Amino acid sequence: MKNLSRIVGSIGAVGMLISTGCLHIQPIGPLAHAQGLPSNPPPIGSKAAVEATRLEPILREAPKPTPPAMYVTPGEITATNADEAMKRLQQELETDRRSTEAMPRYAEISIVK
């Protein structure tokens, strides 16, 4: 029993040494700075820390909207073709609605100073 406790104790001590040694491994080579933090990071909440963590917005120009479909013009509507003009106008409005929904939506960001 005495030997068993010595073995368990020595395994625990070796484990502690190994685990503390792993905390202090430093990367070396050309990618060392890309993986780690700077040696003296600015204090949290300082203006420099906020500037360092700020992400630049991705700016994209929104595409131009599709011009409205012109299936029916006011000059084409008469008393005899009013029903047909109404159906074409409903189709025109539906086509315009679909083209508006298909447009990508970009966030509008405003910065308050």
**What is the tens place of the pLDDT at every residue in 49-79?**
777 777 777 777 777 888 888 888 888 889 8
* Residue spans of alpha helices (H) in 23-106: 32-35, 47-53, 82-101
Identify the pLDDT of residue 29.
67
Q: Which of 90, 85, 91, 87 is nearest to 72 (CA)?
A: 85
Q: What is the mean pLDDT of residues 24-45?
A: 64
